[in-house]
Copies of this chain bind each other. A is one copy, B any other.
Amino acid sequence: MAQRMKGVLAPVLTPVRPDLTPDTERFVRHCRWLLDHGCSGLAPFGTSSEANSFSTDERLAMLESLVAAGLPAAQLMPGTGCCALSDTVRLTAHAVKLGCGGVLMLPPFYYKNIPDDGLYRYFADVIERIGDARLQIYLYHIPQMANVPLSLGLIERLIKAYPSTVVGIKDSAGDWNKTQALLKAFAPDFAVFTGKDAFLLKTLLGGGAGCITACANINPHGLHALYQAAHNARADELQTQVTKLVTLLDGRAYFVATYKGIIAHYAADPGWLAVRPPILELTPQQSHGVIRDLAALGFTMPGLGAAGRHDRPAA
């Protein structure tokens, strides 16, 4: 049986050039920094990655650039779930071929009020069309964006039909009752990742696998410290710090822009600010407010000097 993924995974932000094309160089550099600073894996093309703002071809090329740059495929869990069955199959087959440790799969998210039978048929069809024992699917439950929730009944059917393929879930709903129900029903064999920083400790103590959260893009070290200390005396204190940081960032500009703006500041690299519409980049005023509040919290991004570069080792 393939190894389940676990720990802190970052849904990697996708830097873009001024013309909004993917910026491969910054992308690779950020991925390396994340793995060097606490991430056990990377989930490129998640919600924080603006995944659905890029075409299938763009996503294929970006994933190839990571592997070509020497990032370990086994630690990659790219998002591959699209509205179109054909796109999902294409992205998923490609990820398997590259040796990725898993894929993170959104349900098809255009049609609403789809019965479980329809969603089951969709996932089953993707799995059958891939037809590869190496395929490891982590389902992606994020009803506040997809508006297509994944029920416990659906997940149970998929696990029963494809026990060595449907191996985990990212639960980003932000509803502890749902995460708890997933843990009780399926953990620890089935890897439950929380998408909410504030739930990391509870998830781990409940037998969960870890977290995949936007904040891992800037705080892989803090999340990793908590992951390591989950069963130690310092756990509560570390969870409090993690929660404090993400709470401070909530409710400002659109979260993708906020996280890109933070990297732009700490890496002293304004090239990181750009986002694809419909998301808008941080205004200088918004950026100033975020950075001021982060400084007050004593937040740092190790390995990025005050006037340093993203890939420069810590002084």
Whether B90 pairs with A55 at a CB distance below 8 angstroms is yes
| Bound Cα distance from A125 to B19, whole angstroms | 11
Whether B53 pairs with A254 at a CB distance below 8 angstroms is no
- Give the contacting residue for A114; candidates B90, B122, B278; CB below 8 A: B278
CB distance from A145 to the nearest CB of B (A): 6
Chain A interfacial residues counted at CB < 8 A: 38
Give the interface segment out of A33-41, A103-111, A201-209. A103-111
- Give the contacting residue for A87; candidates B55, B108, B280; CB below 8 A: B55
Give the interface segment out of A78-86, A133-141, A192-200, A258-266. A78-86
Whether A121 pairs with B55 at a CB distance below 8 angstroms is no
Contacts of A85 in B (CB 8 A): 20, 53, 276-277
Whether A279 pairs with B114 at a CB distance below 8 angstroms is yes
Whether A117 pairs with B280 at a CB distance below 8 angstroms is yes
Within 8 A of B (CB), among A109-124: 109-112, 114-115, 117-119, 121-122
| Bound Cα distance from A52 to B106, whole angstroms | 14
Contacts of A54 in B (CB 8 A): 84, 86
14 more CB-based (< 8 A) A-B contacts, given A52-B111, A85-B276, A111-B145:
A47-B110, A52-B84, A52-B110, A55-B86, A58-B84, A83-B83, A109-B110, A111-B279, A114-B254, A118-B277, A118-B279, A121-B277, A121-B278, A147-B147
